[in-house]
Every structure is written in C-alpha cells, then in structure tokens.
C-alpha cells in the first residue's frame, strides 16, 4: 500500500487528487497539509507547523505538493527530511526557490518527480514543439496561455517550460510579454497571458511565416487530467533511486 499525504489539501488540485487517491486500490490517503487544519476525506489535515511531527507518526511514502511557492519551500524540505518521495506540481517558484527544493531532495537522498504539467497530452506536446522549433526555427513564434481567474502565477509553469524548449532550440531570443505602442517585430518570442472565468488550462504555440501559420495547442478540460498524471507519477516514484525525475521519465518519453 502506498501511503500518501497531500499538500494543499483544501485547494482545487488537492481535493481533486485526494478524491482519486481514496479510490485507488494500492494507495492510502493518510493526511493532508494546508494553512487551516481540519479533515479531508476522513483524514487529518495539519499545518506546516505540525508537519514534521505528523509525518513521523503516519510515515507516508509520498508527499504530493500542489500549493504556492511560499508553502512548497517550507513543506517539501520537511517531507524530504522525513524520507518521503515527492511529487511536485506547484508552479511559480523562482530560480533560488527551485534550487532550494532540488538541494533538499538531493541532500535527503529521496526520489522526486517535478513537472509544471502532469497531463500526458502536454508532455507529448512538448516533444512536438521541440521538433517543430527545430524545423521552423526561422518562423515568428508566439506563445499564448489562458487560465482561470484565481491563478496567481503568470506566465504559467507550463508556458515557462515551453519557453525553455523554444530557447534551447531557436534561442537566445528576447521574450516580449504582451505588446503595446509602436515597435516593429524583430527576432523575439511573444508571450500572451489570459486570466478569466474557470478556464482549466489552454496553451498554444504559433509558428508564423509569410504564407502560413502552424499552431500546436493543448486544452485541459478537467483538473482530473493533472491529478491522474500525479497519481501515475506517485505509483512510479516509490521504487525509484534517489534523484530528480520528470514526467518524461514516468512516461518513458526520454
């Protein structure tokens, strides 16, 4: 039985993942972490202050984190010290925060999967974008993403991963975040962010030349798609050697 604790228990992703974990035959939801303490799916939810003691008592195999950067940098190192494998989905970490997380995972010698997007489709799209960028590197490139009104970080973690792929293949190019006023387009990547309503997650990359455009896009219809990917990663990570893995390892896309 894989014992799971979910960080961000009362959040959109936390509740979606919690609901799935409780239905999996080989998994046991043993607790949650959030700002307010309480219960979810009949198990205790503790705050960061009580996390170390809680982990020592329930001894989970995996901690799944979908919160905010400020919470991740506190909770994940506590969990790695307790020997938990980590599934990290939180986006919006700055480079120093991300390095702190990587260091904690390596120091504690635990396995971890870190991905800005746990959907299978997006992980496939990343490989298609890389291939298209290699072949259409002289086209103009524009990236758009749209999410629900409550999303705090912008651009999305997924958009940042796409930018990294584009920079690796056709960069270095200046990234222009929105446009206004008088300026001719040059060799750049345009990045455009929409926030509104309950949009689950849309991303598109357009390669444009004089006579054609090629657009590679992905639309998530339900958070279950990310949750299912996190569950798949949880099952995958438990018997892995210490180290930092991505969804491409889980899906064997490397």
Ligand X SMILES: O=C(O)C1=N[C@H](C(=O)O)C[C@H](O)C1
Ligand Y SMILES: NC(=O)C1=CN([C@@H]2O[C@H](COP(=O)(O)OP(=O)(O)OC[C@H]3O[C@@H](n4cnc5c(N)ncnc54)[C@H](OP(=O)(O)O)[C@@H]3O)[C@@H](O)[C@H]2O)C=CC1
The footprint of ligand X (CB under 6 A) covers: 91, 116-117, 147, 151, 156-158, 201
- Cβ proximity to ligand Y: between 65 and 207 the closer is 65
> Pick from 71, 129, 143, 165: which binds ligand Y (CB under 6 A)?
71
- Cβ proximity to ligand X: between 62 and 147 the closer is 147
Verify whether residue 147 is a known catalytic residue.
yes
33 binds, among ligand Y, ligand X, none (CB under 5 to 8 A by kind): ligand Y
Please choose, out of 67-75, 135-143, 185-193, 210-218, the segment that lies near ligand Y by the rule CB under 6 A.
67-75
- Nearest CA to 190 out of 159, 149, 216 is that of 159
Q: How far apart are CA 156 and CA 178, in angstroms?
A: 14
> Which runs of consecutive H residues, i.e. helices, occur in the chain?
12-21, 51-58, 69-81, 95-108, 120-135, 157-170, 224-237, 247-250
Minimum CB distance to ligand Y, residue 183 (Å): 31
Kindly state the DSSP code that residue 138 receives in the 8-state scheme: T
The whole-angstrom distance between residue 115's C-alpha and the CA centroid of its chain comes to 4
- Cβ proximity to ligand Y: between 137 and 157 the closer is 157
> Which runs of consecutive H residues, i.e. helices, occur in 22-142?
51-58, 69-81, 95-108, 120-135
Please tell me whether residue 46 adopts helix, strand or coil conformation: strand
Does the protein bind ligand Y through residue 40 (CB under 6 A)?
A: no
Kindly state the DSSP code that residue 197 receives in the 8-state scheme: T
Q: Which of 99, 147, 192, 240 is catalytic?
A: 147
Structure tokens at 174: 């200046």
Minimum CB distance to ligand X, residue 31 (Å): 23
Per CB under 6 A, contacts with ligand Y among 188-247 are: 226
Q: Catalytic site residues?
A: 147, 151
């Amino acid at each position: 039985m894989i014992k799971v604790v979910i960080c961000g228990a009362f959040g959109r992703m936390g509740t979606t993942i919690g609901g799935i974990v409780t239905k999996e035959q080989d998994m046991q939801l043993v607790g949650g972490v959030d700002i307010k303490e309480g219960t979810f799916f009949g198990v205790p939810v503790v705050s960061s202050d009580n996390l170390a003691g809680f982990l020592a008592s329930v001894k989970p195999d995996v901690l799944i984190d979908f919160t905010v950067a400020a919470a991740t940098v506190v909770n994940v190192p506590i969990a790695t010290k307790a020997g938990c494998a980590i599934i990290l989905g939180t986006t919006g970490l700055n480079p120093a925060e991300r390095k702190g997380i990587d260091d904690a995972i390596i120091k504690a010698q635990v396995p971890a999967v870190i991905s800005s997007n746990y959907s299978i489709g997006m992980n496939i799209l990343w490989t298609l974008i890389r291939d298209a960028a290699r072949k259409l590197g002289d086209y103009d490139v524009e990236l758009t993403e749209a999410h629900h009104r409550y999303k705090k970080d912008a651009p999305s973690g997924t958009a940042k991963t796409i930018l990294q792929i584009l920079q690796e293949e056709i960069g270095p190019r200046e990234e222009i975040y929105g446009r206004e006023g008088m300026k001719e387009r040059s060799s750049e990547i345009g990045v455009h962010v929409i926030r509104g309503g309950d949009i689950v997650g849309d991303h598109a990359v357009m390669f444009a030349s004089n006579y054609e455009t090629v657009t590679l896009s992905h639309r998530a219809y339900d958070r279950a798609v990310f949750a299912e990917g996190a569950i798949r990663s949880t099952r995958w990570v438990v018997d892995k050697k210490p180290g930092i893995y991505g969804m491409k390892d889980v899906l064997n896309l490397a």
